[in-house]
Amino acid sequence: MTQTLPREWAHRAPAQRAILWLGWFALVALFVWCWQIMSKDTIWAFVWDAPDQALDIGSRMMPPKWAYLPQLMKPLWDTLNIATLGTVGGVLIAIPVAFLAARNTTPSTTFLRPVALFIIVTSRSINSLIWALLLVAIIGPGLLAGIIAIALRSIGFVGKLLYEAIEETDPRQIEAITATGAGPAQVLTYGIVPQILPAFWSISVFRWDINIRESAILGLVGAGGLGLKMNASLAILAWDQVFVILLLILATVVLSEWISAQVRKAII
Amino acid sequence: MSSYPGTWRRPPQIVSDKRVRLALQLGVLVYLVLALGSVEVNWQRVSEGLERGQRFIMGFLQPDFSSRWKDISQGLTESLTMTLTSTVVGVLVSIPFGIGASRNIVPRQIYVFCRAVIAISRSLQELIVAIFLVAMFGFGPFAGFLTLSFATIGFIGKLLADEIEEIDEAQVEAIRSTGASWLQMLNYAIQPQIMPRLIGLSLYRLDINFRESAVIGIVGAGGIGATLNTAIDRYEYDSAGAILLIIIAIVMVAEYSSSYLRKFLQ
């Protein structure tokens, strides 16, 4: 008796293919459904009009108004300060939170660890722009709102990465320090801190780099820095000024990314 | 007999030169003084605001879901549909760019072009792109959809290209030696190797796109961000608190389910 073999080679068995096909079909159906809900209120005349609008904005942006650049130096300094002071503040709060959240250093797994994890999740899931929006409403526009917004957003990021680094520390080194009769504080400074220090600096510099990007646009909701100038220029439709600001933001972001990459390379 | 020191100090780990360390510390101090000096704080305004802050915290503790539920649900639908459609379209567009940006399978000119597109998309923040797209396409979720799709191209394109550049070349060679064309090589040698990673990245991007969709509404690109902005402008902190809680809940669910799915797929 000979078993009839399929003539053509296929990657998967028929049943598997059917399931896969159904999965893709469901995705396409979901996409079409979502698309219809989303574009229900879209005014298509505006959409078809977009290339003309783009040309119009493009022509208004050229030539960029370089004379505006000197006025941007103070906002640039503000932006850098928001990012740096915000990072410092965020990191200072994130350190204790990370130690409370790490399984091997937390004093109580049942009570303090969930609280620390909740702080981290809350801070991570709300964008710094939303924090800024709230803080501008609460404490008024200005640099302080921006700094606090950046700090609040950084707690979650730095805290999460740092507590993972703490949990990944080598337990043998900590045991060795404990075996010499060291107290809890000594175990922390001689057993844990040296192991996480490189990770700590690289996380902080990485977050600083991200914060430079974010602080550049925080001004759009009134929290100071370059975004404030951008908002003002957008309000008067001065696209040539907007273009200069954009180029300045781009240059700052590229520079800070380069610095952060260099520092991280030097540390690791 | 030499006497041993009675105490031991841990040697510094990162900057070992004492003078460099001192200069660094001084530099940091000078910067902090200058920077803190340039921060002007209107303490009167801050103290006035504390009462508002209190109200906001009260709103957060007693969120009001019902009185603005129509606005909230509309913003939420916009955000969720925008997230899904932009992820699907963004991933579809980013696949050719990702393939084009892999040095090992395409000629140099295509590689340079695709890498340039990816670099532009990565270096522009979503919010800035959104401002321009809202100016071009008008207010509403369509501009937001385009913004998120554009941002997805840079993210998925770069990570996919890096993944393709690190594939196992032996499989490519094996398929090539059977006389397969370039497209067949792509389908039978590369696609099976990168598919799990691509699905994982798409799920991750779905998660990011939702977070971003909550933000770009502030500049008029639709979604829950617009609702939140309105609620704060109206000083309705209980509604704002409700919206924030919804955002946090969805982000948490998305994060856990996407990391669970990614683990399951790998």
Helix A193-218 vs helix A73-101: angle between axes, to the nearest 10 degrees?
140
Inter-CA distances, B86 with A28, B128, B139, Å: 13, 17, 17
A91 — pLDDT class (breaks 50, 70, 90)? very high
Mean pLDDT, range B1-27, rounded to an integer = 77
Give me the percent of chain B exceeding a pLDDT of 90: 12
The count of residues in chain A is 268
Residue A143: which CATH number?
Answer: 1.10.3720.10
**CB pairs A-B closer than 8 Å:** 143
Chain centroid to CA B184:
34
Average predicted confidence (pLDDT) for chain B: 85
Q: Give the span between the Cα atoms of B191 and A71, in whole angstroms.
A: 52
Q: Is the separation of the CB atoms in B224 and B247 below 8 Å?
A: yes
Whether residue B165 is predicted with pLDDT greater than 60 in this model: the reply is yes
Task: Tell whether A171 is covered by a domain.
Answer: yes
Whether residue A21 is predicted with pLDDT greater than 60 in this model: the reply is yes
The residue segments making up the domain with residue A145 are 67-267
Which helix H or strand E contains A155, and what residues bound it?
A: helix A143-167
Give the dihedral sign, CA A146/A149/A151/A157: negative
Helix A193-218 vs helix A226-235: angle between axes, to the nearest 10 degrees?
20
**B 149-178 near A (Cβ less than 8 A):** none
Whether residue A2 is predicted with pLDDT greater than 70 in this model: the reply is no
**Which pLDDT score, from 0 to 100, does residue B207 have?**
85
Whether residue A90 is predicted with pLDDT greater than 90 in this model: the reply is yes
**Which pLDDT score, from 0 to 100, does residue B92 have?**
93
User: Does residue A63 have a cis peptide bond before it, meaning omega lies within 30 degrees of 0?
Assistant: yes
Q: Give the span between the Cα atoms of A191 and A189, in whole angstroms.
A: 6
**Is A126 in the B-facing interface, judged by CB distances under 8 Å?**
yes
**Which pLDDT score, from 0 to 100, does residue A93 have?**
94
A150 — pLDDT class (breaks 50, 70, 90)? very high
- What is the interface pTM, i.e. ipTM, of the complex? 0.77
Task: Report residue B67 as tokens.
Answer: 């009185």
Whether residue A176 is predicted with pLDDT greater than 80 in this model: the reply is yes
Interface probe for B, chosen from A16, A20, A38 (most Cβ of B below 10 Å), is A38
Q: Is the separation of the CB atoms in B86 and B152 below 8 Å?
A: yes
Task: Report residue A106 as tokens.
Answer: 């937390």
Whether residue B21 is predicted with pLDDT greater than 60 in this model: the reply is yes
Whether residue A1 is predicted with pLDDT greater than 60 in this model: the reply is no
Mean pLDDT, range A2-19, rounded to an integer = 77
Nearest C-alpha of chain A: how many angstroms from B107? 27
| Residue from A240, A248, A234 nearest A60 by CA | A240
What CATH number belongs to B66-265? 1.10.3720.10
Q: Give the span between the Cα atoms of A233 and A240, in whole angstroms.
A: 9
Give the dihedral sign, CA A77/A80/A82/A85: negative
Task: Tell whether A47 is covered by a domain.
Answer: no
**A 149-188 near B (Cβ less than 8 A):** none
Interface probe for A, chosen from B57, B77, B131, B198 (most Cβ of A below 10 Å), is B131
B1 — pLDDT class (breaks 50, 70, 90)? low
B237 to chain A: closest CA residue: A134
Buried b (16+ CB within 10 A) or exposed e, A116-147: bbebbbbbbbbbbbbbbbbbbbbbbbbbbbbb
pLDDT tens by residue, B91-114:
999 999 999 988 888 888 999 999
Verify whether the Cβ–Cβ distance B46 to A144 is below 8 Å.
Answer: yes
Mean pLDDT, range A177-192, rounded to an integer = 88
Mean pLDDT, range A172-199, rounded to an integer = 88
B13 — pLDDT class (breaks 50, 70, 90)? low
Verify whether the Cβ–Cβ distance A38 to B137 is below 8 Å.
Answer: no
Task: Tell whether A198 is covered by a domain.
Answer: yes
Mean pLDDT, range B47-57, rounded to an integer = 79
A88 — pLDDT class (breaks 50, 70, 90)? very high
Three-state secondary structure string covering A85-151: HHHHHHHHHHHHHHHHHCCCCCCCCCCHHHHHHHHHHHHHHCCHHHHHHHHHHHHCCCHHHHHHHHH
Q: Give the span between the Cα atoms of B172 and B35, in whole angstroms.
A: 56
Confidence (pTM) = 0.81
**Which pLDDT score, from 0 to 100, does residue B156 have?**
92
Q: Give the span between the Cα atoms of B60 and B236, in whole angstroms.
A: 11
pLDDT tens by residue, B71-86:
888 888 888 889 999 9
Between A128-137, A160-169, B1-10, B130-139, the lowest mean confidence (pLDDT) is in B1-10
Q: Give the span between the Cα atoms of A40 and B226, in whole angstroms.
A: 17
**Which pLDDT score, from 0 to 100, does residue B252 have?**
83
**A 40-79 near B (Cβ less than 8 A):** 41-43, 46-47, 50, 53-54, 57, 77-78
Number of structural domains chain A divides into: 1
Instruction: Give B57 or A2, the one with higher predicted confidence.
Output: B57
Task: Tell whether A4 is covered by a domain.
Answer: no
Chain centroid to CA A60:
32
> Which residues of chain B have a CB within 8 Å of the CB of A221?
218
Mean pLDDT, range A46-65, rounded to an integer = 78
Verify whether the Cβ–Cβ distance B218 to A133 is below 8 Å.
Answer: yes
Task: Tell whether A24 is covered by a domain.
Answer: no
Task: Report residue B42 as tokens.
Answer: 């209107």
B210 to chain A: closest CA residue: A125
Task: Tell whether A59 is covered by a domain.
Answer: no
Task: Tell whether A13 is covered by a domain.
Answer: no
Q: Is the separation of the CB atoms in A202 and A254 below 8 Å?
A: no
**Which pLDDT score, from 0 to 100, does residue B55 have?**
79
Inter-CA distances, A76 with A88, A150, A259, B58, B190, Å: 18, 16, 17, 36, 46
**Is B184 in the A-facing interface, judged by CB distances under 8 Å?**
no
B2 — pLDDT class (breaks 50, 70, 90)? low
Whether residue A8 is predicted with pLDDT greater than 80 in this model: the reply is no
Whether residue B10 is predicted with pLDDT greater than 80 in this model: the reply is no
**Which pLDDT score, from 0 to 100, does residue A61 have?**
76
Task: Tell whether A20 is covered by a domain.
Answer: no
Mean pLDDT, range A43-60, rounded to an integer = 78
- Residues 6 or more apart whose CB falls under 8 angstroms from that of A66 comprise A244
**Which pLDDT score, from 0 to 100, does residue A158 have?**
93
Mean pLDDT, range A248-259, rounded to an integer = 87
B177 — pLDDT class (breaks 50, 70, 90)? very high
